[in-house]
Amino acid sequence: MLTMLPRCVLTLCHVLVLVLCLSAAEDFDWTKNDRGSFYYGSFPTGFSWGAGSSAYQTEGAWDKDGKGISIWDVFSHKKGKVAFNDTGDSSCDGYYKVKEDIALMKDLKLNHYRFSISWPRIIPTGIKSDHINERGLKYYDNLIDLLLENKITPIVTLYHWDLPQVLQEKYGGWQNISMVNYFNDYANLCFERFGNRVKYWITFNNPWSIAVEGYETGEHAPGLRLKGTGAYRAAHNMIKAHAKVWHTYDTQWRNKQKGFIGISLSGDWGEPVDLTNQKDIEAAERYVQFYLGWFATPLFHGDYPQVMKDYIGRKSAQQGLGSSRLPTFSPQEKSYIKGTCDFLGIGHFTTRYITQKNFPANRGNSYFTDRDLAELVDPRWPDPGSEWLYSVPWGFRRLLNFVKTQYGNPMIYITENGVSEKMMCTELCDDWRIQYYKDYINEMLKAIKDGVNVKGYTAWSLLDKFEWDEGYSERFGLYYVDFRNKNKPRYPKASVHYYKRIISSNGFPNQREVESWKRKATETCSSSNQLLAAGQYSSAQAFRLCLCVSDPLTSHMEMVTEIVVPTVCTLCILLSAVFLMFLLRRRN
């Protein structure tokens, strides 16, 4: 009996420790926001540096070599859906420039390259039993082999928004539960053909955007506006599809291939407007839970965030609905979904201030009004030109620490982080991008110092590319792509040289050296600027091209000069002629 007592006490202690750990995992300190000075130091040994892209945004060759039609092929071909009616038909011609682009990656000294496989390129209708396109498989075989030959690890996204159009027309896309099995068949084919060489798989890229912008607002393909229901249903089916693919890999391929399955979730940070106001704190947490938590919480804890269930359920009841517009998981589904994330990919770009705002239920169904909050920005935050992307580096560290506390400090790969500019000119000296990368990567280093388990970083993006509904008017690339030239040449921006130095140093060694990086990077970009301008345009043409898109006021002035003024002059001449004829008739 005496020997049993210590064992019981020990067991009780273990239980108490476990309970304390679990409770701590749910506790994020909203009132503590350390915005300290720049931190000089190195990343852990083996930290992986990379850059990213996606199939539809870079490959082009939209109807070549047996590729099927995607929802983005159809969407972008409809007038008025994309800025300037741009399409991804040819984009960067990445399909034909694999060797050239891998040479750029090698020059950057990348450890990994994140790209996506186009589902309709390898299964044209999206239904495996219909037809498998061997030429599509061969393209990705070649890409993966060349990456590995150059000692660059492939990180492969299975779904980066380009759903086969047939599945949209036949079943309604992600609104339909049948997508779970079709997606699993497609993923299984990829594991079978590429899994002996690919060890890092991402099921979905930013499912928030697929659900909200594809099925709620209609800004993205397939362009549906199923307000208050469409986004929740699409998300529900994607979560189930992710879980099924994870289990397929776990049971059929993991022992042989030794790989990892994760998901890439985008999340802007939400900071309370007033840290002393509990309602603002609750609104900020709600913002993050409705964004990143919508997908992360089911995968780590088995169900939707409680705040989503509460708010959407209450709004649904107030609207006279018999059940919540947020779908529910059965007990079996909860246990099946929980724990299906070997690593968490995080795409992060910016931050918002959040405050409480009540939306009455009679305002109608909407994901946005369900949250009862308002988003604000600080006018002092740097804004490179894209109306949604403000540079707020400290928000990155906050988000990473939130993930650590909420989900038990999972293994994290930063799958997207970068900044765009609204211009299509020859300016390669992107000092704002250098500053953005410097500050955001440093905040990630601070988060690692905080104990966050970040294993790798992916700059977004390697190349300028088709930027969804913004077309080619918004550029994220480290490399400038001249889309007006049929050969689509690539030119390094200053940020290429800066990022290369971060990679070579595995961090920020000391103040003096880091300050010299920017100076050296901008020295190299000016000669590239001259080369690009001289090679493609006369200096006058290059100057005009730089003005015509980067500055909305200049664009407006050009429109006035080239369209409005001639039209007004013509009308004046016509009116003068009519008036003269009238005078002559009166005189006669």
Provide the annotated active-site residues: 416
Return the amino acid letter for 54: S
Going from the C-alpha of 48 to that of each of 110, 150, 164, 437, the distances in angstroms are 8, 15, 32, 16
Tokens of 561: 């000069």
Residue from 176, 75, 49, 103 nearest 471 by CA: 75
Phi, psi dihedral angles at 475 (to 5 degrees): -120, 125
Buried b (16+ CB within 10 A) or exposed e, 159-195: bbbbbbbbbbeebbbbbbeebbebbbebbbbbbebbb
Return the amino acid letter for 29: D
- Angle (CA) 4-22-286 rounded to 5° is 160
Three-state DSSP class for 430?
A: coil
Give one DSSP letter per residue of 499-529, joined into a string: HHHHHHHTEE--HHHHHHHHHHHHHHHHHHH
Alpha-carbon span 79 to 215, nearest angstrom: 19
Instruction: Give yes or no for a cis peptide into 298 (omega within 30° of 0).
Output: no
Alpha-carbon span 527 to 525, nearest angstrom: 5
Do 319 and 260 meet the contact criterion of CB atoms below 8 Å apart?
A: no
Instruction: Give yes or no for a cis peptide into 222 (omega within 30° of 0).
Output: yes
Alpha-carbon span 178 to 174, nearest angstrom: 9
Do 426 and 528 meet the contact criterion of CB atoms below 8 Å apart?
A: no
Alpha-carbon span 9 to 3, nearest angstrom: 11
Tokens 């390898």 sit on residue: 122
